[in-house]
Amino acid sequence: MHHCIIERYESLIVYLFMKLTTRFALLFVLLHNISFFAIAQQSPQVATVAPGVKKLTSGQPEKFSPYSFCGEKPMVAEMSRLPEAKLPFNVNDIKINVSDRGAVIEIPLDNEEQLYGFGLQMGSFNQKGLRKKPIVNDNPSHDLGYSHAPMPFYVSNKGYGILVNTSHYTTFYCGSTAKNTGAVHVNDGKSGNSVEELYKNDRPASGYVAVDVPGVQGVEVYIFEGPDLINVLQRYNLFSGGGALPAMWGLGVKYRVKADFNQQQVEKMADYFRANDIPCDVLGLEPKWQTTAYSCSYVWNKDFFPDHDKFIDTMKTKGFHINLWEHAFVNPKSPLYVPLKNKSGDYLVWNGLVPDFVDPAASKLFADYHKDTFVLKGISGFKMDECDNSNLTTGNATWSFPEHSRFPSGINGEQMHQVFGVVYQKTVYNIYKELNTRTFLDVRSSNAFASSYPASLYSDTYNHHEYIQMISNSGFSGLIWSPEVRESRSVADLMRRSQTAVLSAQTLYNSWYLQNPPWLQINRDKNNKNEFMENAKAVEADVRKLLNFRMSLVPYLYSAFADYHTKGIPPFRALVVDYPTDPKVFNIDDEYMIGQGILAAPLTENSDERKVYLPAGNWYDFNTRKKYPGRQEYIIKTSYTDLPIFVKEGTILPLARPVEYISPETRFELTCYVYGDQPKPFSLFEDDGVTFDFEKGKYNTLSLSYQNGKGVVKKTGAFKGSRYYLKSWEVIR
Amino acid sequence: MHHCIIERYESLIVYLFMKLTTRFALLFVLLHNISFFAIAQQSPQVATVAPGVKKLTSGQPEKFSPYSFCGEKPMVAEMSRLPEAKLPFNVNDIKINVSDRGAVIEIPLDNEEQLYGFGLQMGSFNQKGLRKKPIVNDNPSHDLGYSHAPMPFYVSNKGYGILVNTSHYTTFYCGSTAKNTGAVHVNDGKSGNSVEELYKNDRPASGYVAVDVPGVQGVEVYIFEGPDLINVLQRYNLFSGGGALPAMWGLGVKYRVKADFNQQQVEKMADYFRANDIPCDVLGLEPKWQTTAYSCSYVWNKDFFPDHDKFIDTMKTKGFHINLWEHAFVNPKSPLYVPLKNKSGDYLVWNGLVPDFVDPAASKLFADYHKDTFVLKGISGFKMDECDNSNLTTGNATWSFPEHSRFPSGINGEQMHQVFGVVYQKTVYNIYKELNTRTFLDVRSSNAFASSYPASLYSDTYNHHEYIQMISNSGFSGLIWSPEVRESRSVADLMRRSQTAVLSAQTLYNSWYLQNPPWLQINRDKNNKNEFMENAKAVEADVRKLLNFRMSLVPYLYSAFADYHTKGIPPFRALVVDYPTDPKVFNIDDEYMIGQGILAAPLTENSDERKVYLPAGNWYDFNTRKKYPGRQEYIIKTSYTDLPIFVKEGTILPLARPVEYISPETRFELTCYVYGDQPKPFSLFEDDGVTFDFEKGKYNTLSLSYQNGKGVVKKTGAFKGSRYYLKSWEVIR
């Protein structure tokens, strides 16, 4: 018996020794910097996680991935209604190599295909051939890939999307790095004699996209399948919980007042809007409403807003929603400071705490305070500033927290930078969601899987061409972008920027350093001295016309956002999304689709006319009603008060009589414009515009069609109210 | 007995189980991304590695550190002659924390002290309060810390230097990130009402420098002690093997011809110099001398240089050295391609191999080929281009290799980027060193511990103010910088840039895209059409005067470089190096010392006069001979043909009669200018100027002094030749 026991012990010992030895070997690998040794080189695991969405896993994926912060469930039913998913390559051809440096992913790339995405890029559009570092930063210089809302996510016109589910800083090499395979590449060595020719480099196509993900022990890759590019975007948005549906008033006009305005000054500005019949739904307050701003106290400055709650109510009766500027860095004077002290990162920003929003307890403290102090008092939304990082030394290195910061949840500073805008949005959005109240927020940073947040990005960069390009880019990544208007170099600049703002997701005038609206004085200094332009009233009238058009467009836009929510179709999207096989649109970044039937081609101050390429089909100039055959380029002239838009043949476009603001009682008087002889029905979305009841089915679909010379409206759905009055129909041929 | 055995087994089993449990816990930490858990938090080990140089080690330091590539031995004897080393803080106050993310180092920082360095920075000078990422890149935009020659190395005016011995990308937070200690920081929350005041951020001083070194399992930190800042730089340079001593001809004038010039055109240009008495020592050939350039064949283009070896010899007889442009990326058509195929990285650049210069076998192949094909045929040096990385999308993402590249030696792409310029320099420099022939190279990138390489950095950025600033910055990091002259916006720009070039380590005209010297036509297009300026001959005469002054300065400069080699004193250095306690010089980046007694204050095209701050002591305007008391600022006017320099009282300045080029036979006719009544002796360095024999003692020191109204020369040393003829003395009072 003893012998027997010994034998049993012996085999156990041998087993334990073997285990130990293995562990030691592994430890040796982990602890010593043997770069060439790959820890995990096995094939990635492939799983289908939703209809047309695959997940590849290799090694030990990170805990704090972007998808881990997605609070919304995939809209699986809606996804299963899409055309059958298809990939243009074999999923097993994606290679993932995990080493002690991190992960490197290689995805097949066809020589002919075009790549887009990486979040809110500015400076580039078609990303094929480029090296991109999608890193959160307000300083996107030289098109490195830095952006307020970068994403490790690109899509191809061949109908698929690749999302690397990492919060680490990454580099994507989009098809231009060639490997040393030992083979001699084609290179005839011939170069001309001119200096230019000598330096014309040989640029082979590599046949793959390489993604460098340093600092991880493994990685997940999400693949969004087509068959078409638009289906890829639909799947991405639906997988993220469906696109955002802002409160209806959010689609009106937003005006941010000067940073140091007090209660009386804001009220005076509100009265100016109403007295002059200029539409405005939201007034945004900038830093001075708080006792401390950099960092934030989240406490009303009673010197400036002595009756803040009454002020909110008064504004509400006049049809204004109030939006508050803030950032997330908590000043020692804030009531949130002591509760958050141990739920924040180990570094301060502007002497303020960086709340660990990854920890639900920290988010809850922040949210509860905001709910009680502001949201329940009637504050309709927030401008969540400074949640991006900055590389600019203007100011100095104190801008945001170091990458090596540590947070109690375990996330580090680098990862937190990448997701800070997302977890901040989630924290604030959930206040509204839990109160069954919709909102439209402003946010300075975002990342992947954030399609469902009704928050508009903005920037200080202010290049008008880039602002237009960002509208096109936003649609590839489930983002909402607001090309805001500040001061201007010329009236032409003001008017063209205003047109772009009207033709974007949020029409915003940001006068945080202007005493008066920019249309009264474009020059900052004169504006602040109350010196108006000679033609101020004429310019004001022109701006009024544009903003009235914006209000006319709200029902159409709102339905486009409903499509974004329920079908995942981006309301603003580059032409290549709808026309992925037309090479002429591959590089068009300054034209985009709005909803189903409108093509926008904004102008800048440089000229009153521009080249417009119209894709397949026939198109109508909205202003002249002239019909243009597609697949051609035209030179189109547009005045300041017209909008540079084209309507696709077959569209039914409902336009409203402008209102000055949108309340739950607003009933839009619609004229339906029917373009061409065979119009397709248009689905108008109807609900209360302010609650989430539509998610429980309390909405209507008004199907607008035009048959046998007359308009037909078919209403279905469970919403009891009526937001639209169909006044008339007009056919354009 | 059995019982006994069982007991022994039992205790062994318990022991093994305990070990296993520990290992499992550790493994869990390593394999799961639990960022908050520090793997190694023990105190760093401290060792003294040379007189006044300490090394701190924590965790497992990386194999491919910058110091691992330093081929030179520390000059310990010279270091031990420096004043006694001293640190202003306790070395144990440096904290190193190694976690799964990497290492974070904290170094104490006094509120009053000023920081400099990080290699060849442009855009910033005093680094206190900034966040710097010393990463190799030709695109140093927004002063992120990117540079051709970045270094994880800063120095303090309090007399110490900190070098993080890593090839990984790092971030230095120079005293501006505050920690969440739980304490409420001083912040009165008072901000004014103006917009500017609202956004004036609170910027606490943090009391430490934090260094983020992601991706390492441990780190070494070198501390260079003072007591004074200059001693810190001396220790650093001597520890790196002593500063470079270029071939004497390298201190003359270098001219790079147009990239597509053929043999006849180069010869014609050479004749132009001699016929017009314009000094020139080196002619540089640009890409077209090779059969393929991007990437390189390293094979003479016989269409352009049919008699290349004879050409070299002919040029030599006319006193010209030939320098060849190249980069290190090996074209498939190169004879080096097949031998290097398996000794290169796994990615190509411009279809060319990236040789693994970390592997001595790869270096040897590259060096041997260059030795046989070029150096033994008389090529005097190389311009080692494109060994920096690039973030510019001009061109495209193919510029250089990905960070995730792998090399047979085990180094990865990120590390290789940081050290590529260094290992490339080392490879080429050693060819010359082994042949006992000195050189003066051009190189596009460098890093730490490279002081001993006689290679001048250059850039495409071309901002004149930054070029001046980089002269000041180069001295903090053992670097040689060449503010080259190309075309110009105006004659004023050309002349002021020429002055700066004359007052720098290398006087270089880079006409790689100019048919004619820029002094004949400043405009690029006209220059290439051979349309000369009306006043071309007058401008040429003015440039000739400046270049002649350069040649006058060579003996003085050569001695300054000898001091660099034997004492580690940077020949070009910011005023703060010599005057570390004068707050007025803390931010002066556009004045610098040359050798012991000259202060340069270059002008740009903007004005013919500038503010010049003169530090303690009395100073003489070199041109007017007017005496100025120091510790004051003056407005000084300087013509195009004078040099904006000031001589310190007590200096003996030997100036030579200009020669057109420098050969081993050149004997300089010297006039010694004695400034003030109590001149200090000047040590003139004398050797053959072209071999390393001086390292074996074959050099002389000529001690020049002025006593009792006459000049005295004391010569000591073992060099048999005579390079100097003391013609006259002149006293300036």
Contact across the interface for B31 and A217, Cβ inside 8 Å: yes
Q: Is residue B55 part of a domain?
A: yes
pLDDT-based confidence at B5, cuts 50/70/90? very low
A154 touches B: beta carbon within 8 Å: no
Of A24, A173, A193, the CB nearest to B260: A193
Contact across the interface for A203 and B398, Cβ inside 8 Å: yes
Under 8 Å between Cβ of B480 and B244: yes
Q: Is residue B234 part of a domain?
A: yes
In a shared domain, residues A258 and A356 = yes
pLDDT score recorded for residue A194 = 59
A90 touches B: beta carbon within 8 Å: no
Three-state SS string across B415-448, please?
A: HHHHHHHHHHHHHHHHHHHHCCCCCCEEECCCCC
B258 touches A: beta carbon within 8 Å: yes
Q: Record the tokens describing residue A455, joined without a space.
A: 């928050």
Preceding amide of B51 cis, omega within 30: no
The closest of A716, A713, A702, A709 to A730, measured between CA atoms, is A709
Longest dimension (CA), chain B: 112
CA–CA gap between residue A309 and residue A272 (Å, rounded): 21
Please name the residues between 417 and 436 in chain B that touch chain A, using a CB distance below 8 Å: none
Q: Is residue A474 part of a domain?
A: yes
Q: Is residue B22 part of a domain?
A: no
Contact across the interface for B130 and A258, Cβ inside 8 Å: no
CA–CA gap between residue B249 and residue B270 (Å, rounded): 16
Under 8 Å between Cβ of A421 and A387: yes
Q: In terms of C-beta distances under 8 Å and separation of at least 24 residues, what long-range contacts does A462-465 make, across chains too?
A: A462/A486, A463/A122, A464/A493, A464/A496, A464/A497, A464/A500, A464/A604, A464/A605, A465/A590, A465/A604
Of B187, B210, B333, the CB nearest to A402: B210
Note the Cα B562 to chain centre separation in Å.
16
Contact across the interface for A393 and B143, Cβ inside 8 Å: yes
* Range picked from B175-179, B346-350, B589-593 for highest mean pLDDT: B589-593
d(CA A173, nearest CA chain B) in Å? 7
pLDDT-based confidence at B200, cuts 50/70/90? low
- Interface with B, mutate which of A185, A404, A415 (most B CBs under 10 A): A404
In a shared domain, residues B234 and B265 = no
B165 touches A: beta carbon within 8 Å: no
Under 8 Å between Cβ of B702 and B681: no
- Residue where a domain stops, chosen among B502, B534, B555: B555
Q: Is residue A462 part of a domain?
A: yes
B445 touches A: beta carbon within 8 Å: no
Q: For chain A, percent helix, then strand, then coil, each to nearest 5?
A: 30, 25, 45
The closest of B381, B372, B360, B377 to B427, measured between CA atoms, is B360
| β-pair type (B218-225, B53-59) | antiparallel
- Interface with A, mutate which of B404, B412, B524 (most A CBs under 10 A): B404
Please name the residues between 94 and 123 in chain A that touch chain B, using a CB distance below 8 Å: 101-102, 104
In a shared domain, residues B543 and B609 = no
CA–CA gap between residue B524 and residue B520 (Å, rounded): 11
| β-pair type (B282-285, B321-326) | parallel
In a shared domain, residues B524 and B607 = no
A425-453 confidence digits (pLDDT tens): 999 999 999 999 999 999 999 999 999 99
A2 touches B: beta carbon within 8 Å: yes
Of B27, B174, B215, the CB nearest to A101: B215
B59: nearest CA in chain A? A31
Q: Which residues of A touch B346 (CB under 8 A)?
A: 179-180
In a shared domain, residues B380 and B256 = yes
In a shared domain, residues B284 and B220 = no
d(CA A268, nearest CA chain B) in Å? 19
pLDDT-based confidence at B25, cuts 50/70/90? very low
- Interface with A, mutate which of B166, B198, B334 (most A CBs under 10 A): B198
Q: Is residue B570 part of a domain?
A: no
B487 touches A: beta carbon within 8 Å: no
Contact across the interface for B131 and A351, Cβ inside 8 Å: no
Average pLDDT, chain B: 91
A31 touches B: beta carbon within 8 Å: yes
Which CATH number covers residue B364?
3.20.20.80
Give me the amino acid identity at A545. Answer: K
pLDDT score recorded for residue B176 = 80
Q: Which residues of B touch A62 (CB under 8 A)?
A: 33
Contact across the interface for A402 and B63, Cβ inside 8 Å: no
A12 touches B: beta carbon within 8 Å: yes
In a shared domain, residues B124 and B97 = yes
CA–CA gap between residue B698 and residue B632 (Å, rounded): 44
B295 touches A: beta carbon within 8 Å: yes
Element (H, E) at B670: strand B668-675
- Residue where a domain stops, chosen among B502, B530, B555: B555
Q: Which residues of chain A have pLDDT under 50?
A: 1-40, 185-191, 202, 394-395
Q: Which residues of B touch A30 (CB under 8 A)?
A: 30
In a shared domain, residues A209 and A253 = no
Please name the residues between 687 and 726 in chain B that touch chain A, using a CB distance below 8 Å: none
Contact across the interface for B288 and A198, Cβ inside 8 Å: yes
pLDDT score recorded for residue A29 = 38
Q: Which residues contact A11 (CB under 8 A, 6 or more apart)?
A: none
Residue pairs spanning A and B at CB distance below 8 A: 318
Longest dimension (CA), chain A: 110
CA–CA gap between residue B404 and residue B416 (Å, rounded): 10
Contact across the interface for B177 and A397, Cβ inside 8 Å: yes
- DSSP assigned state of A693: G
Question: Residue B712 to residues B158, B598, B703, B707, B731: CA-CA distances in angstroms?
Answer: 38, 21, 8, 7, 13
In a shared domain, residues A390 and A495 = yes
Higher pLDDT, B120 or B34: B120
pLDDT score recorded for residue B6 = 42
The closest of A302, A344, A338, A300 to A322, measured between CA atoms, is A300
**Number of residues in chain A:** 733
The closest of A358, A476, A340 to A71, measured between CA atoms, is A358
Backbone dihedral angles phi then psi of residue A618, each to the nearest 5 degrees: -105, 150
What burial letters (b/e) apply to A452-478, b meaning 16+ CB within 10 Å? bbbbbbbbeeeebebbbbbbbbbbbbb
A93-125 confidence digits (pLDDT tens): 999 999 999 999 999 999 899 999 999 999 999
B350 touches A: beta carbon within 8 Å: yes
pLDDT at residue B249 tops 60: yes
Which CATH number covers residue A101?
2.60.40.1760
**Coil, helix or strand for A237?**
helix
d(CA A239, nearest CA chain B) in Å? 26
The secondary structure of A125-148 as a DSSP string is S--TT-EE---B-S--GGGSS-BS
In a shared domain, residues A90 and A147 = yes
Note the Cα B197 to chain centre separation in Å.
41
Which CATH number covers residue B645?
2.60.40.1180
- Domain extent, residue A4, equals 1-32
| β-pair type (B53-59, B115-119) | unpaired
Number of domain units in chain B: 3
- Interface with B, mutate which of A13, A33, A127 (most B CBs under 10 A): A33
Contact across the interface for A177 and B347, Cβ inside 8 Å: yes
CA–CA gap between residue A599 and residue A614 (Å, rounded): 8
In a shared domain, residues B467 and B603 = no
Beta strands in B8-142 (DSSP E): 38-40, 45-50, 53-59, 95-99, 102-108, 115-119, 131-132
The ipTM of this complex is: 0.88
B527-558 confidence digits (pLDDT tens): 999 999 999 999 999 999 999 999 999 999 99
- Interface with B, mutate which of A2, A13, A23, A35 (most B CBs under 10 A): A35
pTM of the model: 0.91
In a shared domain, residues A171 and A128 = yes
Please name the residues between 552 and 591 in chain A that touch chain B, using a CB distance below 8 Å: none
pLDDT at residue B722 tops 50: yes
Cβ atoms within 10 A of the Cβ of A270, count? Answer: 21
Under 8 Å between Cβ of A335 and A394: no
- Residue where a domain stops, chosen among B527, B555, B583: B555
Contact across the interface for B6 and A3, Cβ inside 8 Å: no
Q: Is residue A194 part of a domain?
A: no
Q: Is residue A488 part of a domain?
A: yes
Only one residue has tokens 């001979």, namely B625
d(CA B431, nearest CA chain A) in Å? 27
- Interface with A, mutate which of B11, B22, B166, B201 (most A CBs under 10 A): B201
B9: nearest CA in chain A? A9
Lowest mean pLDDT among B63-72, B84-93, B388-397: B388-397
Contact across the interface for B204 and A351, Cβ inside 8 Å: yes
